[in-house]
Copies of this chain bind each other. A is one copy, B any other.
Amino acid sequence: MSKAFEKLQQIDKEIILLEHTSALLQWDQETGMPALAIEERSDQIALVQGIAHDRMTSPEVGELLGQARSEVGLESLEAETSYAGSGSGTNGGEAGDEAGGAEVSKGAALPPENDPRFFSSAFLRVFGRNYEREVKIPRRLVTELAQTTSRAQAAWIDARRADDFSLFQPHLEKIVALTLEKAEALGYPEQPYDALLDEFEPGMRTSQVEEVFADLKTELTPLVKRITESQRVDDSFRGRGYPAAGQREFSLNLLREMGYDFDRGRLDESAHPFTTSLGGNDVRVTTRFHEDDLFSAIFGTIHEGGHGLYELGIAPSYHGSSLGEGTSLGIHESQSRTWENLIGRSLPFWQHHFPGLKRIFPKQLEDIDAEDFGRAVNRVQPSLIRIEADEVTYSLHVILRFELELALVNRNLEVKDLPEAWNDLMEQLLGIRPPSDADGVLQDVHWSMGAIGYFPTYALGNLFGAQFFNRLQQDIPDVDKRIGGGDLLSIRKWQQEHLHRHGAVYTAPELLRRVTGESLNPRYFIDYLEQKFSRLNVL
Contacts and interface: CB of A to CB of B under 8 A. Distances in A.
A205 B320 CA distance: 44
Contact of A47 (B14, B41, B284): B14
B39 A281 contact: yes
A17 B39 contact: no
A22 to B, nearest CB: 9
Contacts of A404: none
Nearest to A35: B263
A320 B21 contact: no
Contacts of A20: 40, 44
A365 interface: no
A499 interface: no
Contact of A40 (B34, B40, B279): B279
A43 interface: yes
Interface string A28-43: 1000111111011101
Contacts of A25: 21, 24
A298 interface: no
A177 to B, nearest CB: 26
A386 interface: no
Contact of A24 (B24, B36, B266, B319): B24
A40 B280 contact: yes
- Chain B CB within 10 Å, residue with most, of A33, A40, A41: A40
A44 to B, nearest CB: 5
A493 interface: no
A176 to B, nearest CB: 27
A262 B33 CA distance: 10
How many protomers of this protein does the assembly include?
A: 2
Contact of A17 (B28, B40, B279): B40
A280 B261 CA distance: 35
A265 interface: yes
Contacts of A37: 264, 278-279, 281-282
Interface in A38-54: 39-41, 43-44, 47-48, 51
Nearest to A38: B281
A24 to B, nearest CB: 6
A523 B37 CA distance: 41
A282 B34 CA distance: 6
A18 interface: yes
A43 B20 CA distance: 11
A28 B28 CA distance: 9
Contacts of A51: 51
Contact of A282 (B21, B33, B264): B33
Contacts of A41: 279, 282
Given A17-B40, A17-B44, A282-B40, A24 B34 contact: no
Contacts of A264: 34, 36-37
A251 to B, nearest CB: 17
A191 B100 CA distance: 69
A17 B43 contact: yes
Contact of A281 (B34, B44, B47, B263): B34
Nearest to A41: B279
A41 B279 CA distance: 8
Contact of A34 (B47, B48, B262): B262
Please indicate which of the listed interface residues A37, A39, A44, A261 has the most CB atoms of chain B within 10 Å of its own CB.
A37
Interface string A246-278: 000000000000000111111000000000001
A37 to B, nearest CB: 4
Contacts of A34: 262-266, 281-282, 284
A35 to B, nearest CB: 5
A51 B266 CA distance: 28
Contacts of A40: 17, 20, 279-282, 319-320
A425 to B, nearest CB: 38
A39 B281 CA distance: 9
A17 B47 contact: yes
A53 to B, nearest CB: 13
A21 B36 contact: no
A320 to B, nearest CB: 7
Interface of A: 14, 17-18, 20-21, 24-25, 28, 32-37, 39-41, 43-44, 47-48, 51, 261-266, 278-282, 284, 319-320
11 contacts: A17-B47, A20-B40, A20-B44, A24-B24, A34-B264, A34-B284, A36-B264, A37-B279, A37-B281, A40-B281, A40-B319
- Smallest CB-CB A-B distances: 10 pairs: A37-B282, A40-B279, A36-B281, A35-B263, A36-B263, A17-B47, A37-B279, A36-B264, A37-B281, A17-B44
